[in-house]
Each structure stands twice: as structure tokens, then as C-alpha cells.
Amino acid sequence: MLEKYDVIVIGSGPAGYVAAIRAAQLGMSVACIEKWRTPEGKGVNGGTCLNVGCIPSKALLDSSQRYYETKKGLAIHGISASGIAIDIPAMMQRKTKIVSQLTGGIEQLFKVNGVDGLFGTGKLLVGHNVEFTSHEGITAVLKADHVILAAGSLPIEIPVAPVDGRLIVDSTGALDLDSVPKRLGVIGAGVIGLELGSVWGRLGSKVVLLEAMNEFLPIMDSGIAKETHKIFKKQGLDVRLGARVIGTELRADEVHVRYTSADQSEHSEIFDKLIVCVGRKPFTDGLLADGAGIELDSRGAIIVNAQCETNIPRVYAVGDVVRGPMLAHKGSEEGVMVAERIAGHSAQINYEIVPNVIYTHPEVASVGRTEEQVKEAGEPYRVGTFPFAASGRALAANDSDGMVKLIANADTDRILGCHIVGPSAADLVQQVAIAMEFGSSSEDLGMTVFGHPTLSETVHEAALAVNGHAIHKVNRKVR
């Protein structure tokens, strides 16, 4: 540990560790401070995403989907199976092994690139100084030319459903349940609620999602949201919209939940477990010393400009702790941008083209603007859609629920957005994100040769459909 660094990064989640590595690659001396530690007390990198977020949740999503397919989806292929059972401890061990492999990988990358990985807490002081307190309680003041704040986020708590860690858990606790609850309640039908509800629903829980908003997935294009809602209902997920929880009570080994519906009538449900997934908030507790001078907005997020610089020169903030969607890949790119700008490069991010994904099955993914946003802006547009039910590859895989929707400017044909619910939606929407980054038109995608049979042909056909040229579906008349 040095007394002075070119760059000190506080937080080693996807935004922080990427910023640290890139800054070191550009020749700077770098320290990255991480407070996370394992239940055994060992310091570990990766922040929320790798330890209790993106990675462990995707491991459980994959395991639960394989179990569900083995139990429910093999007969149609002519495959018989019996005695199918789920070993929850083994599934959790696999999740833990994946997390350990990836967090250990960050430690190795720090060593290779010359980043000083420090385990403990970091607090920004006045004058680009950082107070570092190790997990052993030893405190030192480190100096830096530049500071990058990447402290991440944490789950929002609600008074009507206080988390006790046993019967009522947050998204972190939901990743460590030791058995499959017969009756599972989820407060919030957003991205995290749907993913966690899907995991335990596939494993046998009767899942009820209580969503306070009257609209399902308002962050998504409404046409895709409606299609997604229909698919999830068919899968057995009970999503109740306009359901506002007004009270919870623990009785023995049950959670009694009271909620009001959209018509203000009162209802109750009894669950074996309740997951609270009402969103996340920026984590700035203990991050800023009194007098540090960093400005926060009304949500508690650190205010930054388009280049992620705070109101204090040479102090930056990236990832979940700043404005915008809380997405790991958005934070990572901000980390790279800041490191490059510190090094004197002119890096920037196109915030108009940041993909968003829900890793249910089928996946839900989007990039660019929704039809509602384009319409509200008064921009002339055309829409092309294509169903996975008309895809030979999707039918061959018995995975044909969903559709692709592509939106383009009616005058220039430039692609404005793409929204997908269906198999491999996360990867398919990335193809369109690349096209949008290069200013492509729907005609450009339509003139591109796509392999056959592939799921990506659905994107090709949706692009052709924008101008009424789809081959494998009936075209709407283009006005």
C-alpha cells in the first residue's frame, strides 16, 4: 500500500474494478478499496453483482430452468425420465463455486495489472484524500490525484415488511434459501422480483407477485410487456397488479400479508417465505465525510455530469451510485470512460444505446426507445414485428414463445429501438445495439445475410417487416 496514488477507486463491483484495471493499463498507480467479505470474514472483490446479484442469480436461474425442462419439457422430445429431484444444497454449492471463481479472477487481474486491492472501507475526505479502514480496524489516510466513487447500491427496505432474514428476506436472502417454499410471496414484479420468482416457481413454489403499480413492466415497451405478462401467466406466475402491501405479520412459520387491490378492497395471503424486491438505492452511507462537498440528488445518488465527474474536480462517480438505470454493463462502461478521460483521452458513452435485460425464461430485452417514447416525441415511425412461433430454430428447440419488435424512423428508416421477449433475447438485442451504434437503418439489417436456421433470423424478419418486406409472415400495409 502506497501513501499516494494517481487513482483511488472505492468499490470493486463491475464499475469499480473495471475502472481500476483500465486506469492501471493506462499507466497509472491505482488502489481499489472493497468492503465486501465472505461469511468467513475473507475480503472478496466483485461487489453486489458478483457476490449477491447478477452472477449468483443467473446461476440459480440456469439450474432451475434445467430442472424444470427435465421435469416438464422432455416428453415432447420423446425422452422419458423418472425420479427427478432437486438438491438445493448442491445447487447452492454450484452457485457459490461460480461466484468464487469470478471474484478470485478479479484478484488475479488486479495482480497482473498492478492494482493494489485493499479490503476494508473507504471514505472520501476533503482534498482528494481517502480514509481507508482495513477489516482489521487499522486506519490510514491515502492521497490521490483522482478519486472514483463506485460504492454501488443496496435493496430498498419498506416499513410494512421488515426483513428478518428468516421468513421475510430481501433479494440477497432469496439467493440462499435452504429449501423450496410451498407458498412464496414476492413484493415487486420488476426485474429482480420476476427473476427470483421464476427461480423458485420452477422449483415448485406457488409464487404470487404483489406489484403496487397498475401497469406491468412499465420500463419496457407496452406491446412487449403485454406479451411477457401473457407468457408468465401461462407459466403459472401469479402477478397481481395494483396490489399495495399494507401490513405483514409473522405467525409461527408463516408470513401473513395484507394488501389492497386496485379497487382499494383489502385482501390477505399466507406465505411460507416473503421476498421484498421493491428496488435498490444508491449506497453512500459512510462514503462521504462531512465537508467533502459532494452533491447528492433527492434519491441520494451522487450528481455527475455526462463524463461522470462530480461537482468536485477530479472526483468521479460511476455505476449504481449515480443517475440512470442500475445496470452492471452501464457501470462498467462508465468506469472505462472515466479511466480514459483521466488519462487524457476523449472517451464518452452513448446513453441512448444501453441494453436492458430480464433473465427470465423466455428472456426480455430492449435497447433504444419504446414505441410510447417515440410517439410522445412526435417522431414519425414504423414498427416491424416477428413472432418466434414462425422461427424454424425456435420451433425445433420447443422454445417459440415471444416476439421481436423493431422501431424505425418513418422518414430516415434509422433504427430507434428494439424490444424482444423470447429465447436468447439478451444476445439478439445486442445485434441491434451494434447496428444502432453505427446508425443503421432497418433496411441495412434487412439486407444483411443471417444464418439459417437461427434465432437471429427473427431480428432479420422484424427489420424487413418495418417496410412491409417480411418473407415469413403476412405484412401489414405500410403507410
- Domains in the chain (CATH in brackets) are 4-155+281-342 (3.50.50.60), 168-278 (3.50.50.60), 356-466 (3.30.390.30)
Is residue 466 within 8 A of residue 383, CB to CB? The reply is: yes
Residue 361: name the closest of 234, 246, 195, 206 by CA: 195
Model pTM? Answer: 0.96
Kindly write down the DSSP assignment for every residue of 151-168, as one continuous string. Answer: --EEEPP-TTS---SSSE
What confidence tens digit (pLDDT) does each residue in 213-246 have?
999 999 999 999 999 999 999 999 999 999 999 9
> Cell 461487489 maps to which residue?
47
pLDDT score recorded for residue 81: 92
Q: Please tell me the predicted confidence (pLDDT) of residue 476.
A: 84
Looking at residue 479, its pLDDT comes to 65
What is the arrangement of strands in the sheet containing 254-260, beginning at the earlier edge strand? Answer: 244-251, 254-260, 266-271
> What parts of the chain have a pLDDT lower than 70?
479
Number of Cβ within a 10 Å radius of residue 419: 32
Residue 429, phi then psi, degrees to nearest 5: -65, -25
- Active site amino acids: 452
Question: How far is the C-alpha of 77 from the C-alpha of 448, rounded, in Å?
Answer: 33
The predicted structure's pLDDT at residue 11: 98
For residue 151, what is its C-alpha cell? 460504492
